[in-house]
Amino acid sequence: MYFLKRFIKYYKPYKAVFFIDMFCAMIVSLVDLAFPQILNLLTNHLFTQNAELILKSLPWLGLGLLVMYIVRYLGRYYITYQGHVMGARMESDMRQELFDQYQRLSFSYYDQNNTGEMMSKLVSDLFDISELAHHGPENIFISILKIIGSFILLLLINIPMTLILLAVTVLMLVFSVNQNKKMRAVFMDNRRKIATVNASLQDSLAGIRVVKSFANEPVEHKKFERSNLQFLDSKERNYKRMGTFHAGNNFFQGMLFLTVLVSGGFFIALGQIKATDLAIYALYINIFINPIEVLVEFTEMFQKGFSGFKRFVEVIDTQPEIVDTPGAKDIGVVKGDIAYNHVSFSYDDTNMVLEGIDIQIPAGKTVALVGPSGGGKTTLCSLLPRFYDVTAGSVTIDGKDVRNITLESLRKAIGIVQQDVYMFAGTIRDNIAYGKPDATMEEIVSAARQANIHEFVMGLEDGYDTYVGERGARLSGGQKQRISIARVFLKNPKILILDEATSALDNESERHIQDSLEELSKNRTTIVIAHRLSTIRRADEIIVISDDGIVERGNHSFLLERNGLYAKYYNMQFEGLTD
Ligand code: ADP
Ligand code: MG
């Protein structure tokens, strides 16, 4: 009931269309119900065999039928056209709502959910919902009108025969509902199997470069073939069920006619019913039976659409973990003092990744984080833009707790350069301007110059309008990284996080990028994580983080002198090298 109410809400903007749709549905049903009556009139006339009367009334009958059919045409046209459009609009509303919700949901949601499934919610679930939204009310309305209407008319023609008919109909209904249940089970299986096929396809395509580099096409073929064949198998079972269902229904219809003919003949013999009435009766049986079948099949559409809607609501109702707190204020002018005060953090409330961390970074200074992989460096950085919230303690910028700053202004104040660079489908210009869509061409070029990528871009045939390919496939790692650095130059944040920005690059590209990064961190408070210690020597403070938390801190020469973990790392990397 709750879900039904939620569902009905989406009809609200389309109330007018909905009611016209229902009105048309009523008209269409009435025309269908009236047809045998007209025929009845006609045959009654024909049987009088009065030529004059027949000729006189024929044009009127013809005209009456014509008007009815035109009205039905208009009704059907409206239902099919505007009804579908209404469904599509509701679907589009929901799709946008779902998309926006996906944008709102926090990192933690994405840690736990599969993007393939999210895609399927956007595509197939919503399509099912749209079908239900449009066909649902119309089907129910038309069917019920026809069933009730034709049943009354059948009763009016002959009561005993209609009771016999009802008995056979109940038998048919039991069969139908029963078969339909089985069909639905197979259908659900179908759904799961196609999801597996899609997942397998998506996974393989996304990893196509790895597949090829391992020459693993045959392995992928096998994997795909398995799910593909399972899907086929499931479909075959589905069609078998469908065969039983449809043929069975047909058979029962035959039984209905058989019963009617035999009992009808019997009643004619007894003089209880006229032969013409029997013919009309048979026509009404069709009008009575078809909607029953439609309703039974409709249960499937209902189930599909409604379970899709439930999944939709589940996502819509998920509260993003990270949202603006009530009373959150814009960050205002940023100076750039950063402080971590007794910060503890855990992803799952059991394993503490960080415990009791204290770090102060005065505005404009650079702090470097060093330590073994998995020590928590990235995690520590992600607390600053509130990708996650601290479990205990606080993170402040200029003395303000980040939780009291609006998310938008907070994240606009922080620039991040990571190891993995994501390029959006589009041109180089689009990608640089990502953080400032209204940037002028001069600003874009200036950012590109600062990131040492301008010359490269100018060397391309289409310059800044060069399409980067899916995920930037047409660019090298170093080029992508420089574009991402240009992005941050353009954004011009007061605070900068460099998380292994050069780790994926070769020495040559790294040296190029090092200059841009140094340029970038000028006048900005910077947290830098790097696996090459040469890049962090100049940091104002170096903090060594391991699983045990902060184990050492100080500047480069202090830590070398101390001869602890940092010195050990440093010597390991530069053994035999003169720098
Ligand atoms: P570093 O950047 O120092 O290599 P991370 O901050 O990435 O370390 O990871 C610290 C710890 O937190 C690791 O044990 C890692 O497995 C865990 N971790 C990182 N990201 C997540 C996440 N999204 N969900 C759960 N655990 C995570
Ligand atoms: Mg990391």
CA of 419 to the centre of ligand 2 (A): 9
Task: Give 456 Cα–ligand 2 centroid separation in angstroms.
Answer: 29
Mode of pairing for the β-strands spanning 525-529 and 495-499: parallel
Q: What is the largest CA-CA distance in the chain?
A: 124
Give the closest residue to 492 by CA, choosing from 524, 454, 539, 448. 524
Residue appearing with tokens 């899907």: 231
| Three-state secondary structure call for residue 73 | helix
Using the 8-state DSSP alphabet, how is residue 318 labeled? P
Q: Residue 578's pLDDT band (boundaries 50, 70, 90)?
A: very low
pLDDT, tens digit, 9 for 90 and up, residues 217-270: 998 999 899 999 999 999 999 899 889 988 998 898 888 888 888 888 888 888
CA dihedral sign, ordered 428, 516, 508, 529: negative
pLDDT of residue 579: 43
**Chain segment 540-573, per-residue pLDDT in tens:** 999 999 888 899 999 898 998 988 888 888 888 7
pLDDT of 384 > 70? The answer is yes
Residues above pLDDT 70, as percent of the chain = 98
Query: Closest Cα to atom 26, ligand 1: which residue?
Result: 347
Distance (Å, rounded) from C-alpha 397 to C-alpha 564? 31
Q: How many A from CA of 450 to the centre of ligand 2?
A: 26
**What integer best gives the mean pLDDT of the chain?**
88
Q: From 113, 347, 546, give the residue whose CB has the most ligand 1 atoms within 8 Å, as the site to mutate.
A: 347
378 Cβ inside 6 Å of ligand 1: yes
Ligand nearest to the CA of 500: 2
Query: What HEC string does 250-308 produce?
Result: HHHHHHHHHHHHHHHHHHHHCCCCCHHHHHHHHHHHHHHHHHHHHHHHHHHHHHHHHHH
Q: What pLDDT score does 469 carry?
A: 78
Helices of type H across 322-376: none
ipTM, 2 dp = 0.98
Residue 458 — left, alpha, or beta (φ > 0 → left; ψ -120 to 50 → alpha)? alpha
In this structure, what token pair is assigned to residue 392? 């205990």
pLDDT band at residue 279 using 50, 70 and 90 as cut-offs: confident
Q: In ligand 1, which atom is closest to the CA atom of 369?
A: 3
CA of 380 to the centre of ligand 1 (A): 9
CA dist., res. 88 & res. 350, Å (int): 45
List, as one string, the DSSP characters of 45-57.
Answer: HHHHT-HHHHHHH
pLDDT for the residue numbered 39 = 78
388 lines ligand 1 (CB under 6 A): no
DSSP secondary structure string for all residues of 475-542? S-HHHHHHHHHHHHHHH--SEEEEESTTTTS-HHHHHHHHHHHHHHHTTSEEEEE-SSGGGTTT-SEE
What dihedral angle (degrees, nearest 10) is formed by the CA atoms of 192, 196, 197, 203? 150
Q: Tell me the pLDDT tens digit for each residue of 445-496.
A: 999 999 889 999 999 989 999 998 777 778 888 889 899 999 999 999 999 9
Least confident range of 300-309, 392-401, 521-530? 300-309
Q: Place 575 in a pLDDT band, splitting at 50, 70 and 90.
A: low
Q: Would you state the pLDDT for residue 413?
A: 94
pLDDT at 574: 62
Ligand 1 contact via 111 beta carbon (within 6 Å): yes
Q: What is the pLDDT of residues 396-455, one digit of tens each?
A: 999 999 999 999 999 999 999 988 888 888 899 999 999 888 999 999 999 999 988 999
| Residues belonging to the chain | 579
**How far is it, in rounded angstroms, from Cα 250 to Cα 244?**
10
> What average pLDDT does this structure show over 300-328?
89
Residue 71 pLDDT more than 50?
A: yes
Ligand 1 close to Cβ of residue 176 (< 6 A)? no
369 lines ligand 1 (CB under 6 A): no
User: Is-contact 448 432, C-beta < 8 A?
Assistant: yes
pLDDT at 18 over 90: yes
Other C-beta atoms closer than 10 Å to the C-beta of 504 total: 16
Q: Is the CB of 374 under 6 A from ligand 1?
A: yes
| Cβ proximity of 394 and 462 under 8 Å | no
User: What burial letters (b/e) apply to 99-129, b meaning 16+ CB within 10 Å?
Assistant: eebbeebbebbeeeeeeeebebbbebbbbbb
Residue 72 has pLDDT above 50, yes or no: yes
The mean pLDDT value for 69-79 works out to 94
3-class SS of residue 430: helix
Spell out the CATH class of 422-492: alpha beta
Q: Where are the domains of the chain?
A: 159-272, 422-492
Q: The tokens of 17 are what?
A: 């269309």
Measured CA to CA, the distance from residue 344 to residue 358 in angstroms comes to 10
> Average of pLDDT values for 90-103?
94
Position of tokens 């339909």?
Answer: 180
pLDDT in tens, 131-181: 899 888 888 888 999 999 999 999 998 898 899 889 988 998 899 888 888
